[in-house]
Amino acid sequence: MKADQRKLDIRNGCVDLSHGSGGRAMSQLISGLFHEAFGNEWLACGNDQSAFDVGAGRMVMTTDGYVVSPLFFPGGNIGSLAVHGTVNDIAMAGARPLYLSASFIIEEGFRFSDLKMIADSMGEAARAAGVYIITGDTKVVERGKADGLFISTAGVGVVPAGLDLSAGNARVGDRVLISGTLGDHGVAIMSKRQNLAFETEIVSDSASLHDFVASMLAAGGKGIRLMRDPTRGGLAATLNEIAQQSGLGFRLQEAAIPVKPGVAAACELLGLDPLYVANEGKLAAIVAPEVAAAVLAAMRVHPFGRDAAEIGEAVADDHHFVQMATSFGGGRIVDWLSGEQLPRIC
């Protein structure tokens, strides 16, 4: 048997510096673990890059780094997150995601069994999303230099002709829709932090949203002005961003914003506001008033939009404030997050 065909000892082995050195060990790791998990014709060619045909329409491209801690959390792990996050950045343009790249920075001593679990979840998430991980890179760094594992993914997708989702499209009177409960991902991660562990049934909402987006576009057409996924900084950051970019303001109704009781309770305990907590499988859409009801109905029949809600509208405001009528009867600003609410959430 050739040395480079020897199987990795997945159960007991771990990554060492030789697995990033470009030699036989690296080749074993790539073919024995990553190719197996991602398995597709492009990777099988073994080139340093992958070629693919470009179809009609405009291409979109995005990239994202993943440093979440802990690596495994209720509802997913860094691998599934690295696929969902990048797929969603493409999906928010109304695009169909096609191909991903994946780059791994691994700390020596990282267990093969954990790496396999993570790679398998990536493969599974990619297959479920109908995308292919067609190129990648592996680096190994000394112990203490990477806190286990960092993953970086880039993705390309194609936008149907004539579709242009952008903050500049928003108009006064447009409605703000969100696809479901806020803060699930952030709270799921927090519940597993070493010095913060608490019991909760909340799982991360991490998911690929492009099919969901397609069903919304089918219902709302050009009435859908733009979409964003409220990840770090939560819905508050997303709406402030849109307000700045569109030159408008927003007025929200707190009572309409869905938050799971477990998330609300955890936030209460930790002094956090669910509006600022990260989501990984939710989107906010700004839509024309005349299509709002139809889009909302389409969202609610999809599993990712069961709790979808209309939570406010765009208003003229030179200061671009996001204001909210509180459930209690007063008013307040929903400002940008200042400082860091919680590091390494994705």
Contact residues for other proteins (CB under 8 A)? 195-196, 261, 264-265, 268, 273, 319, 321, 323, 325-333, 335, 338-339
Q: Smallest distance from the beta carbon of 241 to other proteins, in angstroms?
A: 16
Query: In this complex, which beta carbon is closest to other proteins, that of residue 139 or of residue 251?
Result: 251
Angle at 219 between CA 155 and CA 320, to 5 degrees: 70
* Residue 58 near residue 98, CB atoms below 8 Å: no
* Residue 220 near residue 144, CB atoms below 8 Å: no
Of 72, 43, 73, 67, nearest in space to 153 by CA = 67
Q: Smallest distance from the beta carbon of 313 to other proteins, in angstroms?
A: 16
Q: Smallest distance from the beta carbon of 96 to other proteins, in angstroms?
A: 38
Question: How many residues are present in the chain?
Answer: 346
Q: Smallest distance from the beta carbon of 332 to other proteins, in angstroms?
A: 4
Query: In this complex, which beta carbon is closest to other proteins, that of residue 10 or of residue 264?
Result: 264
- Measured CA to CA in angstroms, residue 241 lies from 19, 147, 166, 331 at distances of 42, 31, 12, 20
The Cα–Cα gap between 225 and 217 comes to: 10
Residues paired with residue 99 on neighbouring β-strands, in sequence order:
132, 156
Q: Smallest distance from the beta carbon of 123 to other proteins, in angstroms?
A: 35
Burial class (CB in 10 A: 0-12, 13-18, 19+), 303: exposed
Query: In this complex, which beta carbon is closest to other proteins, that of residue 44 or of residue 196?
Result: 196
Query: In this complex, which beta carbon is closest to other proteins, that of residue 163 or of residue 264?
Result: 264
Query: In this complex, which beta carbon is closest to other proteins, that of residue 188 or of residue 219?
Result: 188
Q: Smallest distance from the beta carbon of 330 to other proteins, in angstroms?
A: 2
Query: In this complex, which beta carbon is closest to other proteins, that of residue 190 or of residue 298?
Result: 190
The Cα–Cα gap between 305 and 299 comes to: 5
Q: Phi/psi of residue 327, each to 5°?
A: -60, -20
